[in-house]
A and B are shown apart, each in its own frame.
Chain A
Amino acid sequence: MSDHAAPHDSAGHEEHSHGGLGKYIAVFAALCFLTTMSFFTYSEAWPWRDQPQVGWAFMMAVSCTKAMLVVLFFMHVWWEANWKYVLTIPAAMMALFLVIMLIPDIGMRNRMVSQERALHMARPADLLLLEEAGTAGPAAEAH
């Protein structure tokens, strides 16, 4: 069986010579462009600097697009038969469930905390305190 399987399969694979270098270069250019786009959110020119959620949504969209490009063209999934859905869709669903299952216990862990924990965990007020100390620093040094 194995003697017959390998040549049959590799021959079938050779036949449809998908891609060509031009396609890979185009995908590469698109990936570089998209990386620059997500890096753009970090630059001063990004218009929604005071609303980080906009940047997060944008970057996730960019990352998903990049992931699609890599999977479809570099991993040749575009040209594969329907078995690709059997492997990728259940795995993606499991991945999603894994995350959703974490939300009640881990994601919402700080909704209700014990006094002991509240005493030791950092809060935004601590950051403000540090920033205040930073601006007051040179003045304190002068004393």
Chain B
Amino acid sequence: MSSPAISIPHDAGHADGHDDHHGHVHLQYQPGLPLSRGKLIMWLFLSTEIMFFAALLGSYIVLRFGAAIWPKPHHVHLSEPIGAFNTFVLICSSVTVVLALEAAKSNKTGLAKIWMVATFVLGGLFLGVKAYEYQAKFSHGIYPVAPHSRIYERPDLYYGSAVRARLGESAIIERLKEIDEMPAESLSAEQRAARTSLQQIRTMLGDPNQQAFEMAVVADQIAPLPAEGAGGHGGGHAHGINDAFPELQLPIVIPGGNMWASTYFLLTGFHAVHVVVGLIVFAVLLGYTLGPKNAGMIENAGLYWHFVDLVWIFLFPLLYLF
């Protein structure tokens, strides 16, 4: 690798006067690939990342289209406008990192630093929005794994017994007593309705001749599936017992919801980890003078960041709009 001569020492030819003979041997250093080693390593890394995210996204697509049923985005409280906003944030951050690189190349170090700070802030904003979205899922009992996840696939008797088991916990029994004894004027209209349906579902669950449809009614009283176009988060969607009395944390039914939660949190989680790594890199870069000398570093960090943007470009429609 190191054997090709960088230049032929001319004094070797001078010794016996064969200057012209050696003169036409122009040996020049040629790197294996016409790019710096840092950039080569970054591209090699990115090609492994292509396969990593392709495997994740591919598994998601195959799981999703092979599933008997898959929840609609509004069933799992996904908000399309928030997803679109986050897409916009990442696109902006890709632009700012490119502008930082251009500024650094033309030796405008101050400007480069401003763009770099803007990139960092936009990346942080993306993570903040993501955290808000995760919180919205958690508050509805949507978690990827069992101890916290309250998702049941079907409104069947297993679901009914899970609700009954939850209502039978001593802390919940205490809380139900308090709710029953609350004066009506201290409750909101929504809470009064939820209190009535709580009493209703307790009698339904106690009935030994329960039928599947009654379990669907129980599930609907606890956490109704929001209608399409209801707008996902917060105020827009239909309210159930879990919304009126969040502390009860009753089991919910989302057909296909468990597989959805696993894939959603895995995909967005790995993407968020990549965003965090990018932010760390940018924070380190901010400690340097962002001039032409360090343009290579900015370029490599930028390549990584654009790739993170690229992944989100596919994640957004696949998760929010499909």
Q: Which residues of A contact B (CB under 8 A)?
A: 1-2, 4-6, 8-10, 12, 14, 17, 19, 21, 24-25, 27-28, 31-32, 35, 38-39, 41-42, 44, 52, 55-56, 59-60, 62-63, 66-67, 70-71, 74-76, 80-81, 83, 87-88, 90-92, 94-96, 98-99, 102-103, 106-110, 120-124, 126-127, 129-134, 136-137, 140-141
Contact = CB atoms under 8 A, between A and B. Distances in A.
B217 A136 contact: yes
A98 B220 contact: no
Contacts of B283: none
A96 B229 CA distance: 34
A83 to B, nearest CB: 4
B165 interface: no
B224 A137 contact: yes
Contacts of A27: 95
A138 B243 CA distance: 17
A41 B193 CA distance: 36
Contact of B95 (A24, A67, A88, A127): A24
Interface string B284-314: 0000000010011001001100110110011
A130 B155 contact: yes
Contacts of B36: 5-6, 9-10
Contacts of B67: 110
A56 B220 CA distance: 30
A111 B270 CA distance: 30
Interface of B: 1-2, 6, 29, 31, 33-37, 43-44, 46-48, 50-51, 54-55, 58-59, 61-63, 65-69, 80-81, 84, 87-88, 91-92, 94-95, 98-99, 102, 105, 153-155, 158, 193, 196-197, 200, 212-213, 216-217, 219-221, 224-225, 227, 229, 238, 253, 255-256, 292, 295-296, 299, 302-303, 306-307, 309-310, 313-314, 316-317, 320-322
Contact of B99 (A1, A24, A110, A129): A24
A38 B307 CA distance: 20
A106 B296 contact: no
A95 B313 contact: no
B217 A140 contact: yes
Contacts of B81: 39
Which of B158, B196, B313, B320 has the most chain A CB atoms closer than 10 A to its own CB?
B313
A59 B2 contact: no
Contact of B55 (A17, A19, A95, A130): A95
B255 A122 contact: yes
A70 B212 contact: no
A17 B292 CA distance: 13
B295 A95 contact: no
Nearest to A59: B317
A2 B6 CA distance: 11
Contact of A19 (B92, B102, B221): B102
A31 B54 CA distance: 22
A10 B55 contact: no
Given A87-B47, A106-B62, A130 B225 contact: yes
A85 to B, nearest CB: 12
Contacts of A108: 66
Given A83-B34, A122-B153, A130-B253, A95 B58 contact: yes
Given A39-B80, A63-B313, A141-B196, A120 B153 contact: yes
Given A8-B29, A122-B68, A126-B255, A133 B219 contact: yes
Given A83-B34, A95-B51, A122-B255, A141 B200 contact: yes
A17 B106 CA distance: 10
A137 B154 contact: no
Contacts of B158: 120
A6 B62 CA distance: 44
